[in-house]
Structure 1
Amino acid sequence: MDCNRCGNEAVMHAAYSGAHLCAEHFCASVEKRVRRRVRRDDLVPKDATPENPQTWVVGLSGGKDSVVLTQVLHETFHEDPRIELIGLTIHEGIEGYRDKSLEACVDLAEDLGIRHEVVSYEDEFGVRMDDVVEDDPENMAACAYCGVFRRDALSRYAEELDADLLLTGHNLDDEAQTAMMNFLEGDVEQIAKHFDASLGPLSEREIQEEFVPRAKPLRDVPEKEVALYAHLRDLPAHITECPHSSEAYRGEIQRLLYGLEENHPGTRHSIVAGYEELASIVADEYAGDDGADLRECVECGSTTTRTVCRKCSLLESLA
């Protein structure tokens, strides 16, 4: 099949849009969607100037999503004095896994000439995920521990780096899966929190001063297209599954969505669009609830709704 735009050989067919695209036009399409999302979400504030620049911290794991996001953002803003990109890599302490992806992060940061910071669970929390999986005092999936530690490290270091924005490489599939999980669990409050944390233009969100605002510019791009972009651009992405990954429920939702998308192209886009609209409505219902209950963790001083934050609670059980 030939490219719809130039007649060259197509490398990709997007069933949800009917487009057949060659390598050049496919890559341009991915970049266009990321840049359009940056504009729609008002990520560059009107008061940003060379004298008052913005610091954007990208959660750079070395996987395809974060590598592609960092590459596109760099190409978009590397000549813009209003934006400084910093890559932030979290090393969980998983032997043979994160070490290789860290190499990809280092290579990319050097290629692009951007600042790169590395934070490890071992240095920050005194634990390694390999050891956590063996002990598991809470009898939880490894991802549950890791998710709490990762969010804490990303948020804390984004603050230390004086970030104006924390960007993550969540793609369309990630967002559709999260939406479906919250729907099926009937977790309306989580839907509202998800909206406050990452959806909608920054100018229309209620951003709490305690947290660095987050954004997901890659969320309009399907996972397979992210992988294809990384391949076609020969980016140093480390594409492999975490050996401790055990999110069985998310895996079921992923397989369900694959089937729905194959039979009904555009399903993921519809789910996310509907989710965002619903989230904007329910967010009003829960507006201010978190803010009224926010306090400092008595152990580490981080902002939480608990007396002791979840991170400190888990670390105490591990100790």
Structure 2
Amino acid sequence: MDCDRCGDDAVMHAAYSGAHLCADHFTRSVEKRVRRRIREDSLLSKDATPEEPETWVIGLSGGKDSVVLTEILYETFGKDPRVELVALSIHEGIEGYRDESLAASEELTDRLEMAHKVVGYEEEFGVKMDEVVEEDPENMAPCAYCGVFRRDLLESYAEELGADKLLTGHNLDDEAQTALMNFLEGDVRQVAKHFDASLGGFDEREESDSFVPRAKPLRDVPEKEVALYAHLADLPAHITECPHASEAYRGEIQELLLKLEENHPGTRHSIMSGYEELASLAAAAYDSSEGGELKECVECGSTTSGEVCRKCRLLTSMEAI
């Protein structure tokens, strides 16, 4: 098929829009959607100036999503004196996996001459993810532990780096899967927690209202299109699934959504459109009905609804083995 816009050979057909696009027009399309999302979420504050620029910390794992996000943000704001971009990578301690993705992250940030901070579970918590999986003190899926630890480090180091915003590379498929999982589980409270009214997006805060605002500029772009963009731009992305990934339920939701999208193009976009509105209503309802007194964790000082935050509870359970 030929590109709808110039007649060159098409590299992508988007069934949800009917568009056939060549490599050039496809990459422009992805960049346009990301930049539109940045505008609609009012990511760049009106108060940002060359004299007092904003610091945007990017969660850079080295996978296709975060690499594409970093590249587009650099192309858009790399020379904008109102924005300082800083990459933040987390080393979970997964042998033969994270080292390769960190190498990809370093290759990208070196080329872009971007500040890059790397922190690890072992240095911060005294454990490696491989050890957590082997011991499994709470009898949970590996992703459940890792999500808590990674979120803690992203938030704490974003704050330490003086971040005004924390940006992550969640794509349309990621967001639609989470939305559908929350809905099917009847977890209205989690729907409310995922909504970030300050940016019009979704954050992953769990217990804290003292957090660096998050944004997900790729959340309008399907996963396959992110992967194609990384390939066409020859970006150093490490595209390999984590060896500990075991979210069986999310995998089922992923297959379901892919089938629905195949039979009914546009399903993912429709889910997110409705979910965002529902999340806004749920967040407002919980804010008005619950005071939710927050306090400092007695172990680490982070904001939590209980005496001890979840991260510290998990680390204590590891020490008890």
CA separation of 1:35/1:261 partners in 2, compared to 1, >3 Å: closer, same or farther? same
Rounded to whole Å, the distance in 2 between the matches of 1:173 and 1:89 is 22
1:209/1:284 CA distance change after superposition, 3 Å: closer
- Say whether the 8 Å CA contact 2:94–2:129 is kept in structure 1: yes
1:73 aligns with 2:73: yes
**What's the offset of the Cα at 1:306?**
1.5
Which residue in the other structure is 1:150 paired with?
Answer: 150
Match in the other structure for 2:273: 273
Match of 2:293 in 1: 293
Q: Secondary structure in 2 aligned to 1:71?
A: helix
Is contact 1:198-1:215 (8 Å) kept?
A: no
In 1, the alpha carbon distance for the partners of 2:198 and 2:154 equals 15
Q: Are the counterparts in 1 of residues 16 and 266 from structure 2 also a CA contact under 8 Å?
A: yes
Mapping of 1:74-153 within 5 angstroms? 74-153=74-153
Give the ranges of 4+ consecutive aligned residues of structure 1 lying more than 4 Å apart after TM superposition. 288-291
CA contact (8 A) 1:159 1:212 kept: yes
Any unmatched runs of 5+ in structure 1? 203-207
CA distance in 1, matches of 2:142, 2:200: 31
Percent sequence identity over aligned pairs: 75
- Give 1:257-268 correspondences, 5 Å limit: 257-268=257-268
Q: Which residue of 2 aligns with 1:205?
A: none
- 1:90 and 1:120 in contact (8 A); partners too: yes
Specify the alignment match of 1:165 in structure 2: 165
> Residue in 1 aligned with 2:205?
none
**1:47 counterpart letter in structure 2:** D
Q: CA deviation at 1:281?
A: 1.1
2:308 aligned partner, one-letter code:
V
Q: Which amino acid aligns with 1:140?
A: M
The one-character-per-residue Cα deviations of 1:209-228 (angstroms, maximum 9, x if unpaired) are 71100000000000000000
Please give the residue correspondences for 1:144-223 in structure 2 after superposition, counting only pairs within 5 Å: 144-196=144-196, 200=200, 210-223=210-223
Long gaps (5+) in structure 2? 203-207
Whole-Å Cα distance in 2 between the matches of residues 290 and 312 of structure 1? 25
Deviation at 1:196, TM superposition (A): 2.7
DSSP 3-state at the match of 2:189: helix
The Cα RMSD (Å) is 1.4
**Is the alpha carbon distance of 1:277 and 1:114 closer, same or farther for their aligned partners in structure 2, counting shifts above 3 Å?**
same
CA distance in 2, matches of 1:108, 1:33: 22
Q: Distance in 2 between matches of 1:241 and 1:170?
A: 15
Q: Find the aligned partners of 2:12 and 2:41 in 1 and give their Cα distance.
A: 28
Q: Secondary structure at the match of 2:138?
A: coil
Deviation at 1:292, TM superposition (A): 3.2
Q: Secondary structure at the match of 1:293?
A: coil
Per-residue deviation, 1:197: 7.1
Distance in 1 (CA, whole Å) between partners of 2:122 and 2:61 is 17
Instruction: In structure 1, give the amino acid aligned to 2:282.
Output: V
Q: What's 1:5 paired with?
A: 5
Aligned equivalents of 1:277 and 1:246: distance in 2? 30
Q: Report the number of matched residues.
A: 314
**1:279-301 deviations in whole A, cap 9, x for unaligned?**
11111101166763211000000
* Aligned match of 1:57: 57
In the other structure, the counterpart of 2:256 is 256
2:196 aligns to what SS in structure 1?
Answer: helix
SS at match of 1:84: strand
CA contact (8 A) 1:197 1:213 kept: no
Deviations 1:71-101 (A, max 9, x none): 0000000111000100000000000000000
8 A contact 1:37–1:217 mirrored in 2: yes
Residues 53 and 84, structure 1, Cα contact 8 Å, conserved in 2: yes
* 1:18 CA displacement: 0.3
Secondary structure of the equivalent of 2:257? helix
Q: Is the 8 A contact 2:43 2:199 kept in 1?
A: no
Determine helix, strand or coil for the equivalent of 1:286.
helix
Change (3 A) 1:83 1:263: same
**2:161 aligned partner, one-letter code:** L
| Kept in 2: contact 1:55–1:85 (CA 8 A) | yes
Question: Counterpart of 2:210 in 1: which secondary structure?
Answer: coil
8 A Cα contact 2:209 2:303, kept in partner: no
